[in-house]
Structure 1
Amino acid sequence: MTHRVKEILSWYGSDNPGTLTNLARLLNHGKLAGTGKVVMLPVDQGFEHGPASSFAPNPPAYDPRYHFELAIAAGCNAYTAPLGFLEAGAREFAGEIPLILKANNHDVLLAESDPTQALTDCHFFGWADRQ
């Protein structure tokens, strides 16, 4: 583990070991591993604004697994998305990239006059190295 990652983890001394482990995994993954910098691929526009407005220019993006592949190929530290997107590829891509559940979102299911968002428990999905 690099000095920089150890320094960042030292700022979170009161957090539980599981949180520290997941943060270390995030900081030590992808092209920026060990630098203390993080780049995540956040995907949710298809839910917030309707899939056609977001994915029509790039039809492969309709497949949730495409976003996993994109994040992995780009060397991102993590992929973050709503639960359904993560569930669609979590088994297939287990261990290849840390996953973060995007819990706050706005969808087109409610009228704009009703801004209440769906609330979901937030998790940093378990991530284990593949052998």
Structure 2
Amino acid sequence: MNETFIPTLTYSAVANPAVSDVAQHVYSAQASLPSHWGVPSQGNWLSRDTDLTDQAANRMTACTGVLPSCDEFPLASTHQGAAFSAAGDWSAVTVSASANSSQGGITGAFYTSNRMVEGEKFWVKAILANGSASW
């Protein structure tokens, strides 16, 4: 076991076109938010937050008024979500319901396959349909 390894959660519009709205949001957010969340060269990893109350607070903070299908970054399932980050250091946009659903499946599979438990760190990479990567 490599205790220094930090896995990467990837939202690829190339591999999964249904997630393209989310990939675009993450790509833009990583470039523009002050903390550049999830980008290794910036050193600001995300950490999993399994507390459902925290996740609800993150969603409420980020998604109030963002209808009908809100995508927030950093993810609601992280300690860096909107309820725990400074104003202006998180983003929320409307995405298609299918993109949001695809993101949920990708994220859940990532957490399961990497056996991610409370507090574990990870990076996030977005790949747009044209192949451009966020890092």
Give TM-score scaled by structure 2 length: 0.28
Give TM-score scaled by structure 1 length: 0.28
The structure that has the greater radius of gyration is 1
Bigger strand fraction: 2
